[in-house]
């Protein structure tokens, strides 16, 4: 199962997200759940960089692990754009989860203190 964890600041804005695991929906190369999650999450990171000029801290491993952390020190107007892009990612991932919930689980975590 693919595990997606969205980490939110106490204010509710997205600080980071991680994706790990495998969907096991179909054989490698034919797994539409894996492909969808990868396209949405990597597409969001690429959009953040291309549209705002901000490069998130990214860690990616061959076993299906992806981590993305948004820098803390960015202008408010830029952060607003980033948040819109990341919230769009969440909507897309939730849509995948609604249809393929046996293969993907999304968890939200909120910081206690900022």
CATH number of the domain that residue 106 is part of: 3.30.70.1490
Cα separation of 48 and 43, whole Å? 9
Alpha-helical segments (H) within 1-114: 32-52, 76-99
> What is the reported pLDDT for 81?
98
Assess whether 22 carries a catalytic annotation.
yes
Question: Is pLDDT at 103 greater than 80 in this prediction?
Answer: yes
pLDDT at 88: 98
The residue annotated as part of the active site, out of 7, 34, 68, 103, is 34
Report the residue count for the chain: 114
First to last CA, the chain: 31
103 catalytically annotated? no
Q: What residues make up the domain containing 62? A: 2-110
Maximum Cα–Cα distance across the chain: 43
**pLDDT, position 33:** 96
Indicate the pLDDT class of residue 85, thresholds 50, 70 and 90: very high
Number of structural domains the chain divides into: 1
Closest Cα partner for 12 from 93, 91, 92, 87? 87
How far is 41 from 31, CA to CA, in rounded Å?
16
Tell me the pLDDT of the chain averaged across its residues.
Answer: 95
In the chain, the percentage of residues whose pLDDT exceeds 70 is 97
**Tens of pLDDT, residues 1-48:** 999 999 999 999 999 999 999 999 999 889 999 999 999 999 999 999
């Amino acid at each position: 199962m693919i595990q997606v964890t969205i980490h939110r600041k106490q204010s509710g804005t997205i600080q980071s997200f991680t994706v790990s695991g495998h969907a096991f929906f179909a054989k490698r190369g034919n797994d539409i759940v894996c492909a969808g999650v990868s396209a949405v999450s990597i597409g969001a990171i690429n959009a953040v960089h291309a549209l705002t000029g901000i490069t998130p801290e990214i860690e990616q491993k061959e076993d299906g692990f992806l981590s993305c952390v948004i820098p803390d020190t960015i202008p408010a107007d830029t952060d607003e754009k980033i948040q819109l892009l990341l919230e769009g990612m969440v909507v897309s991932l939730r849509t995948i989860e609604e249809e393929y919930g046996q293969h993907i689980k999304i968890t939200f975590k909120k910081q206690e203190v900022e």
